[in-house]
Amino acid sequence: MLEFPAERSAPPRKEPWTVTRLNREVRSCLESRLGAVWVVGEISNLRRQPSGHSYFSLKDESCQVSCVMFRGASPGAGALRDGMQVEIFGEIGVYEPRGQYQIIVRRAQARGAGELEAKLRALHEKLRNEGLFDQDRKRALPPHPVRVGVVTSPAGAAIRDFLHILARRAPHIEVFIAPVRVQGRGAAAEIALAVSQFADPVDSSFPAVDVIVVTRGGGSLEDLWEFNEEDVARAIAASAVPVISAVGHETDVTTSDLVADVRAPTPSAAAEILSSDRAEIFNRLAYLLGRMERETSSRLELAREQLRRHATSGAFASPRRRVADLRLLADDLSERSTLAVGRRLALLREGAFRARSILRARSPASQLATLRERLGALDMRRAKAVASALQMRRQLHARLRHELELLGPRQTLARGFTVTMDASRRAITSSETAAKQPELITLFADGEVTSHPE
């Protein structure tokens, strides 16, 4: 019979954890120790759910980690794809039912996108301060362009969609393509040069065009970066020919879109902007031709009726009578005009007289005289008011003085009362204090007497 040897110095037995508790403790330990982290790696096994959440693995040369990005967590989630090098920011977490640790992604961006975004923001601020994004400097497109210059790659899907829509909707438009690279180092210089040559055909071998279209298909920020370069933006802004920028998808906004006269969300949309539906044009022309025919027939019939009426009128039957009637009418109108002119002149003279009267009344001299009269009246009122106030003050002063004299000590002394004071001439109010004084002064109405109590 097989037996396991007994363990030596085994630790004391404790209550075992459940798997749930173990996973919970691991989760608490990871979340409290690591928290939020930045991680760089390559996306693989990307799965997007109908709910809008995305699940993928982030790997490098030797390891990988599971990641989940919930819907709305990062604005760049829609551009993620397998094989893409990204930088992600998120919290470490544990999915307890499976005991699997993962990163809950809060933000994801292409590797190096942070530096590109900072560079792009600085360029936008610079161009905005120079007024290159202002709407008032942008020009309207010609209503019916017939020659269009396109700056793009001749091998891209964007030019195929563009030409297909133009051929269907407006085959009369001539398209001239300037083949350039739309991605990679040096592509921006080619794009800027092609725009400048289309804008100035006199000094270049390029044909004269009505509109310039700068376009390419969608891609990441790095793929579209050449359309964010400053020399492309300045070439578009300096163009004397209106420019349409149709770069990327509808959600992509490049510097060329902001500087261009018109921004089209896609290359196909640019073709639709330039073209009008032929059926719509033909219907419009048919409507205008029918309207012109109806109006022409109506005017001809009206002219015939007027001709018949004039031919049967008295003017043609008796020209002398018509001339006489016209002379009488001319005399009547002359007399009426003379009377009207006379009445009008009379009204103007009356108005001028009233205006002179008003101006005379409102002249500075008249107003000054009126103000002087008002000032004199106010001065007299002020003098009367001051005199009345002084008289009232004097009366009040005399009454108060009389009342003070009645209540004063002299009147009391005159009625036979006296005031006893010590040698320092302080009033004595008790007999006990008077008995202690070596000298007393008694004040009468007509003088004072000094006495010694001893």
- The mean predicted confidence, pLDDT, of the chain is 83
The tens digit of pLDDT for each residue in 145-159 reads: 889 999 999 888 888
Domain membership of residue 327 (yes or no) is no
Query: Does residue 130 share a domain with residue 224?
Result: yes
In a domain? residue 2: no
Say whether both 234 and 189 belong to one domain.
yes
Residue 331 in any domain: the answer is no
Is residue 133 located within the same domain as residue 272? yes
36 lies in the same domain as 175: no
Segment 157-170, tens digit of pLDDT: 888 989 998 888 88
Q: What is the pLDDT of residue 1?
A: 38
CATH number (domain holding residue 122): 3.40.50.10550
Residues 197, 206 contacting (CB under 8 angstroms): yes
Helices (H), 208-318: 230-238, 255-259, 267-274, 278-311, 314-317
Q: Is residue 211 over pLDDT 90?
A: yes
Share of the chain above pLDDT 70, in %: 90
Is residue 2 scored above 50 in pLDDT? no
**Together in a domain, 39 and 67:** yes
Reduced to 3 states (helix: H, G, I; strand: E, B; else coil), residue 206 is coil
183, part of any domain: yes
pLDDT reported for residue 3: 46
Count structural domains, the chain. 5
Q: Whole domain around residue 42: which residue ranges?
A: 19-111
Domain closes at, from 111, 138, 169: 111
Q: Are residues 45 and 134 in the same domain?
A: no
Q: Tell me what the mean pLDDT of segment 124-133 comes to.
A: 88
- Those residues with Cβ within 8 angstroms of residue 366's Cβ, 6 or more apart along the chain or in another chain: 360
| 225-249 pLDDT tens trace | 889 889 999 999 999 999 999 998 8
Where is average pLDDT lowest: 57-71, 313-327, 341-355?
A: 313-327
Give me the amino acid identity at 220. S
Are 212 and 259 contained in the same domain?
Answer: yes
Q: What is the pTM of this model?
A: 0.44
Same domain, residue pair 261 and 128: yes
Residue 12 lies in a domain: no
Do 87 and 201 lie in one domain? The reply is: no
